[in-house]
């Protein structure tokens, strides 16, 4: 057997010696047996698992559950917990005991990853508090601030494929419960690597951890119900949890806020890590909302609302007789504009006397520019951030933040992360106020176009098996900048490599066109994709004409970008 294979097998055997999970041990033993017998596929699989390591970054950890350092498993999670404990202990003030609250959703291994983490953190001298049961990510984000802990950990892979899991880290104190950002991620990663190099997982000390009281969940429910205005009408709604953990908390929040209980998609309402009714548990994916829309037709719903499996995102569909399904899914930008307008109105209502409203509306750089127009109309500050709520949540004086990928933050005083539950309550409040006036969400969308302009958005998303192609395309766009996208002249290109304004450096290009349209180009942070985000607007004609003009411009941008980078 070649030396390289011998070294590979030795690394795998050393991993096997410290793996406490019988399932991942068994599949690694099978791979080792195949590699010893000369099975090329088994050897390639071992190389994939052991030649690299899941990177701990600003999104924490996320990957497929399997054995090896390049997968999610109990060894990797235990090393992460020990590294986090070392980081928190190092930065704690003299005499201070750091603390961590840990949550988990209904995915495979979420509970065991959370319990391993709690025991190892406690063994390292950190006060560890486990949430009482599987709960949505927003409850964990709330708990960091509510309990005043040094940090929080959420075990979830959000809307990733069924066999994935992940490890999200939040910081308390001066970070106010936001997710970690650079350079904190690298500091934690360095501690994790030190643990991996010098400690066997079975020998890591374990301690007794606490379990949070149910009063914490009660506090989240009350704080989130307070987002609503007491409804003057009851829109008919359908809700799906997408096989996730949202329903128990959503049900309580809606009841406390005064809303009638929605009809539910029975097949998707309880947590199920297999996600049996969807090919991909993401409300944005084609077909994922089919059962919910069918339920909507069955009950004549005014709204169909969905959370993703950990309930930090919100999807909404409204009746539309022109579609085969009878409903139209609102885009993330449309939902963000409606919620942002609501928050701007609330901020203006709270302003004393003739004073302008205080606060900031914020969105990611790839979200629609419409939020900036709304902020200006109400005298609010507007802030664009890099993608991800780790950045949006840090905008100063934040009253509302969103990103186009169905993430919304409507209650920054209590949660500093996207929260699909509070967003659902806020959206139901919009629908209830409209219903009391004999109007619909579609009418409000018309109002928005008439007051602020018609906005349209689109996305070109190209998947690559050869990741080097993504870098090559970005390099070509920088070296040979286009003069036109389709027939429209490029006015300027902003390169975020060294940062733009007060934004940190990022691999992003912003292409601004002569007609005011905009294209943002960046590699995906979580998938092997290159993405181009397309935005256009119009202020000519009535609401329908404005939207049609903007949509036509986006269609032209789509064709032009595909010709340029496809």
Largest CA distance in the chain: 82
In the sheet with 381-385, reading across from the earlier edge strand, the strands are 381-385, 360-364, 398-403, 407-409
Within 10 angstroms of residue 358's Cβ, the number of other Cβ atoms is 15
Q: Is 117 a catalytic residue?
A: no
Please provide the distance, in angstroms rounded to a whole number, between the alpha carbons at the two ends of the chain.
43
Closest CA to 447 of 376, 510, 374: 374
Other beta carbons less than 10 A from residue 502's beta carbon: 8
* Separation of alpha carbons 154 and 102, rounded Å: 6
Tally Cβ neighbours within 10 Å of residue 79.
Answer: 25
Catalytic residue among 78, 99, 150, 158: 158
Say if residues 149 and 172 touch (Cβ distance below 8 Å).
Answer: yes
H/E run at residue 438: none
**Which of 261, 244, 248 lies closest to 313, judged by CA?**
244
> Radius of gyration of the chain from Cα atoms?
24
Q: How many CB atoms lie within 10 A of CB 66?
A: 18
Distance between CA atoms of residues 215 and 222, nearest Å: 10
CA distances from 211 to 128, 173, 271 (A): 8, 21, 21
Task: Annotate 219-284 with three-state secondary structure.
Answer: HHHHHHHCCCCCCCCCCCEEEECCCCCCHHHHHHHHHHHCCCCCEECHHHCCCCCCCCCCCCCCCC
477 token code pair = 């766009």
Determine whether 540 is exposed, middle or buried from the number of CB atoms within 10 Å of its CB (0-12, 13-18, 19+).
exposed
Counting runs of H as helices and runs of E as strands, what totals does the chain give?
Answer: 17, 22
Place of tokens 């990928």: 405
Backbone torsions φ then ψ of 260, nearest 5 degrees: -65, 150
Angle at 524 between CA 462 and CA 529, to 5 degrees: 25
Question: Taking the alpha carbons of 436, 440, 443, 447 in that order, is the dihedral positive or negative?
Answer: positive
Task: Please give the backbone phi and psi of residue 319, each rounded to the nearest 5 degrees, phi first.
Answer: -60, 140
Cβ-Cβ contacts under 8 Å for 108 (sequence gap 6 or more): 65, 162, 163, 165, 273
d(CA 350, CA 28): 60
Q: How many residues does the chain have?
A: 566
* DSSP code for 397: T
CA geometry: angle 338, 160, 565, nearest 5 deg: 75
> With contact defined as beta carbons under 8 Å apart, do 44 and 12 qualify?
no
Q: Give catalytic residue positions.
A: 158
């Amino acid at each position: 057997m070649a030396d390289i294979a011998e070294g590979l097998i030795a690394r795998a055997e050393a991993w096997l010696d410290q793996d406490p999970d019988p399932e991942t041990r068994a599949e690694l033993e099978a791979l080792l047996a195949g590699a010893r017998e000369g099975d090329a596929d088994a050897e390639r699989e071992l190389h994939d698992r052991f030649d690299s390591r899941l990177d701990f970054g600003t999104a924490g950890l996320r990957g497929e559950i399997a054995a090896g350092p390049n997968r999610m498993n109990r060894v990797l999670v235990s090393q992460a917990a020990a590294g986090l404990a070392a980081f928190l202990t190092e930065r704690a003030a003299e005499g201070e005991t750091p603390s961590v609250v840990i949550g988990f959703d209904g995915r495979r291994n979420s509970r065991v990853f959370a319990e391993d983490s709690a025991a190892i953190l406690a063994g390292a001298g950190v006060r560890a508090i486990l949430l009482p049961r599987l709960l949505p990510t927003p409850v964990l984000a709330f708990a960091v601030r509510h309990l005043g802990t040094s940090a929080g950990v959420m075990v979830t892979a959000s809307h990733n494929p069924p066999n994935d899991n992940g490890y999200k880290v939040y910081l308390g104190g001066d970070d106010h419960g936001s997710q970690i950002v650079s350079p904190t991620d690298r500091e934690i990663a360095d501690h994790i690597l030190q643990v991996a190099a010098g400690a066997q997982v079975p020998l890591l000390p374990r301690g007794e951890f606490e379990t949070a009281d149910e009063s914490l969940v009660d506090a989240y429910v009350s704080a989130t119900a307070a987002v609503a205005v007491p409804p003057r009408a009851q829109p008919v709604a359908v809700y799906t949890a997408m096989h996730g953990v949202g329903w128990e908390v959503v049900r309580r929040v809606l009841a406390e806020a005064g809303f009638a209980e929605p009809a539910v998609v029975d097949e998707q309402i309880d947590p199920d890590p297999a996600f049996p009714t969807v090919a991909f548990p993401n409300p944005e994916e084609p077909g994922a909302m089919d059962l919910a829309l069918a339920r909507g037709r069955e009950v004549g719903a005014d709204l169909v609302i969905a959370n993703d499996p950990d309930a930090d995102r919100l999807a909404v569909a409204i009746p539309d007789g022109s579609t085969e399904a009878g409903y139209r899914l609102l885009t993330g930008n449309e939902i963000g504009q409606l919620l942002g307008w609501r928050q701007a109105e609330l901020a203006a209502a709270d302003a004393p006397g003739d004073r302008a409203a205080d606060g900031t509306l914020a969105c990611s750089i790839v979200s629609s520019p419409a939020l900036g127009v709304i902020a200006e109309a109400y005298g609010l500050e507007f802030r664009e951030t890099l993608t991800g709520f780790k950045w949006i949540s840090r905008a100063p004086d934040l009253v509302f933040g969103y990103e186009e990928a169905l993430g919304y933050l409507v209650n920054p005083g209590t949660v500093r992360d996207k929260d699909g539950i509070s967003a659902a309550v806020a959206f139901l409040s919009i629908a209830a106020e409209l219903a009391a006036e004999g109007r619909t969400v579609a009418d409000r969308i018309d109002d928005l176009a008439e007051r602020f302009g018609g906005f349209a958005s689109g996305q070109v998303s190209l998947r690559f098996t050869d990741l080097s192609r993504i870098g090559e395309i970005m390099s070509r766009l920088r070296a040979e900048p286009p003069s036109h996208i389709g027939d429209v002249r490029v006015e300027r290109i902003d390169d975020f490599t060294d940062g733009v304004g007060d934004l940190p450096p990022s691999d992003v290009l912003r292409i601004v066109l002569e007609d005011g349209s905009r294209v943002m180009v960046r590699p995906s942070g979580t998938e092997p994709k290159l993405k181009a985000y397309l935005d256009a607007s119009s202020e000519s004609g009535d609401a329908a004409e404005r939207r049609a003009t903007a949509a036509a411009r986006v269609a032209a941008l789509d064709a032009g970008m595909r010709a340029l980078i496809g």
